Structure 1
Amino acid sequence: MEEGFPESIAAPGIHESWEVLTGRDPKVVQAAALVDYDPQTCTYHVPCLGQDIAVHVPDRTLSSTSNLGRMLLSHYPEYAKLSILRYMAHAQDRPLSGELVKPSQLPGGDFFVSGTHVLPLPALARRFDGHKAQFVRRGQVLGGKTTDHGDVSLELFPFPRIPVHIILWFGDEEFAAWATLLVDASCQQHMAVDILWSTCMLTLQMLRDENEY
């Protein structure tokens, strides 16, 4: 993996999230995270980039019945597990603000502009430069929809209350292709800035994964 951190580094946060989630009333979690819950199996069903992720509380496991869902969990476990569980543990029953901002504009957002935490947007722009149809198709497979920004843009939902907008401008003779990523300003009510980074990384990695799906 080009960017990331070993899953072992995320282990303490994952353990803490399980502890918090176990202590939350399932009805509160359902309303806050906009997820389904099966009381017979004590399993939450979390929509994540168009995939159903099963969060089984008794044995503390995550699984999916879809190929893309399994890929999300197995290819990017360090992002997926931490982001999913933190979202479940801390999401609030609050509406979207409708205000789109760069993650770096959020309180503590300087996290996104230093060192290895810089999002790989240039790589995404190069990957899809001039390939509008492919960009749209891959976004739609991940449950996204097109929006009217740049040369092509997508709104993706890594989680129901965390929309991520990715805007792409194609390169020309004067300028190289480039991309930007925006989030709803309300995201900070549901997750800390480092978990937002992990969520954005998961979204970008799934979008530009070279595997066909």
Structure 2
Amino acid sequence: MGDKETKTETETESGYRVVYEKYWQDIKKRDPDEITAVRAVSYSSDTHQFNVIFFDEEYIADSVKETICRKADGHVPDVVATIVILNYLAFSQPLPESSPRWVSVKEIPGGMIFYTAFHKTAISVVIEAFGHQAGRLMTAARSLGGQAGPFGDTSVVFRAFPEVPLCVIVWEGDDEVKANATILYDPSIEFLLQSAICIDLGIYLAAQLKRLIQYS
């Protein structure tokens, strides 16, 4: 069993490495001006670095060293956050005009096939952490720049990137009512991240919220 788990972890790391290298190559093939024209990022031609705001913190993406770190302290984000940031830069295309609204993962093109895994690894995590203490969600959310939303017993709107909002909603449970939660996206997400990376983003956010409440 242990060998199987180790192999699975190794395969996962290898898969992320392939994606990591591909996204960097995709980014480096682009004219930086093309990326900054359609993304809320800046670029320095002197240092060959992009400045990216991710959950209210500034990160430096260095296209020469092929590294990403937080500007304030040099912290290197975990592999999921790194892949999300790289996809955000690599998958840059103009946004169409649209009216603000919220959609579930099922409504994102290609999202339906990921829903079962998404519920298990993101929504269930939120329910477990906040389903019986919904008020704690806002406490955890502050560190990620979250703002109170209008839904459920408690909801919080986050900005993964300046133009990428997510909304986490919790309906608190008790002895008679089962707790529930969801994570919603703006439909423009399909032009900002690939569908699989949208899933990774929700999973990352749920994990960060659970981690933050454990240490609050």
TM-score bin, normalised by smaller chain:
0.7 to 0.9
Structure 2 residue ranges without an equivalent (≥5) = 1-8
Structure 1 segments unaligned to the other structure (5+ residues): none
- Provide the residue aligned with 1:159 in structure 2: 161
The structure having more radius of gyration, on CA atoms, is: 2
Q: Secondary structure in 2 aligned to 1:114?
A: helix
Number of residue pairs aligned between Structure 1 and Structure 2: 205
Corresponding residue of 1:64: 70
Comparing 119-128 with 56-65, greater Cα deviation is found at: 119-128
The alignment's TM-score, normalised by the length of structure 1, stands at: 0.86
Could you say which residue in structure 2 is the equivalent of 1:22?
A: 28
Q: Which residue of 2 aligns with 1:185?
A: 187
Q: Residues 182-203 of structure 1: CA distance to partner in whole angstroms, max 9, x if unpaired?
A: 1011111122211111111111
Structure 2 CA distance for aligned equivalents of residues 161 and 91 of structure 1: 12
3-state SS, counterpart of residue 104 of structure 1: helix
Equivalent residue, structure 2, for 1:100: 102
Provide the secondary structure at the position in 2 that maps to 1:209: helix
Amino acid at match of 1:149: F
How has the CA–CA distance of structure 1 residues 127 and 114 changed in structure 2, closer, same or farther, with 3 Å as cutoff?
Answer: closer
Q: Specify the alignment match of 2:3 in structure 1.
A: none
Q: 1:89 to 1:141 in 2, by over 3 A?
A: same
1:123-172 CA deviation, whole Å, 9 max, x = no partner? 21221234344311221210111111001101112222221111011112
Q: Does structure 2 retain, via aligned residues, the 8 Å contact 1:49–1:203?
A: no
In 2, the alpha carbon distance for the partners of 1:176 and 1:63 equals: 40
My pick for the range that moved more, 164-173 or 30-39, is: 30-39
Task: Tell me, yes or no, if the aligned pair for 1:103 and 1:109 is still in contact at 8 Å.
Answer: yes
Letter in 1 for 2:103: V
Aligned residue runs from structure 1 range 123-202, under 5 A? 123-202=125-204
Q: TM-score, normalised by structure 2?
A: 0.85
Match of 2:151, as an amino acid? H
User: Distance between the aligned counterparts of 2:205 and 2:13, measured in 1?
Assistant: 17
Deviation at 1:58, TM superposition (A): 0.7
**In the TM superposition, what are the counterparts of 1:68-83 in structure 2 within 5 Å?**
70=75, 73=77, 76-77=78-79, 79-83=80-84
Q: Distance in 2 between matches of 1:144 and 1:61?
A: 27
Bigger drift between 50-59 and 95-104 goes to 95-104
Using a 3 Å threshold, how does the CA distance of structure 1 residues 129 and 116 change in structure 2: closer, same or farther?
Answer: closer
Q: Which deviates further from its counterpart, 115-124 or 80-89?
A: 115-124
Q: CA RMSD in A?
A: 2.3
Residue 61 of structure 2: aligned partner:
55
Residue identity over aligned pairs, in percent, reads: 24
Aligned to 1:40: 46
The CA distance in 2 between the partners of 1:23 and 1:11, in whole Å, is 18
Deviation at 1:108, TM superposition (A): 1.4
